[in-house]
Structure 1
Amino acid sequence: MTTYINYPALLIWQGDDELSYAPDSASLGRLSENLITEDDRLVDSQGVCWLSQDGGQHWQPSGQTMPLVQLVTHIQAHYAQLGQCCVRKMQFKDRATAMASLAVH
């Protein structure tokens, strides 16, 4: 199991379709200034899921990997929340490409 976060990464807020994009550790640090709970999840570009400790000050690998199809479902829900149409047609060849689609939003 990897012990470092592979960037870019996405913060999946529990109970919300909004996703936050973290291209590097500095941006994740800025996101950690928000209220991050133990129910929120970080997914890195390799699909490794991370659990928040100390409100996002530290991250622990959960031992789970998010399948690409599940990640795409989260991204589709995020775009639908933003009012994008035809989000169900969105497909990505890998996790990094899927996450990069959020870099401009």
Structure 2
Amino acid sequence: MTTYINYPALLIWQGDDELSFASDPASLKALRENVITEDDRLVDSQGVCWLSQDGGQHWQPSGQIMPLVQLVSHIQAHYAQQGQCCVGKIQFKDRAAAINSVATAPEN
């Protein structure tokens, strides 16, 4: 299991369809301005799931890999929350493309 986060990454907020994009360590650090809990998950471009420690000060691999189909489901829910149409048709060839789409998606 990897011991470093492969960027880009997505922060999946527990109980919310909103996702937050982290392109690098500095942008992940900036997300700590929000309240990051131990129930929130970070998923990197290799699908490695990371657990928050100390409100996002440190991240530890959970030992789980998020399947691409599950990641796409999170992204579809995120887009639906933003009012995007036809989200069921959204597909990606790999996790990095899926994660990067959140950074480039138009906001409604």
Please indicate the TM-score interval, normalised by the length of the shorter structure: over 0.9
Partner of 2:2: 2
| Aligned pairs (5 A) from 1:28-39 | 28-39=28-39
Q: 2:40 corresponds to which residue?
A: 40
Q: Helix, strand or coil for the counterpart of 2:11?
A: strand
Who is 1:103 aligned against? 103
- How far did 1:30 drift? 0.1
Q: Runs of 5+ in structure 2 lacking a partner? A: none
Paired letter, 2:8: P
1:25-76: CA deviations, max 9, x gaps?
Answer: 0000000121000000000000000000000000000000000000000000
CA RMSD, 1 decimal: 0.6
Q: Map 1:47-62; keep pairs closer than 5 Å.
A: 47-62=47-62
The gaps in structure 1 that reach 5 residues or longer are none
Q: TM-score w.r.t. structure 1 length?
A: 0.98
Aligned residue for 1:30, secondary structure, equals helix
d(CA) in 1 for partners of 2:33, 2:9: 16
Match of 2:63 in 1: 63
What is the percent sequence identity of the aligned residues?
A: 83
Equivalent AA in structure 1 for residue 82 of structure 2: L
CA deviations 1:67-100 (Å, max 9, x no partner) are 0000000000000000000000000000000011
TM-score using structure 2 length: 0.96
Q: Matches of 1:32 and 1:72 in 2, distance apart?
A: 24
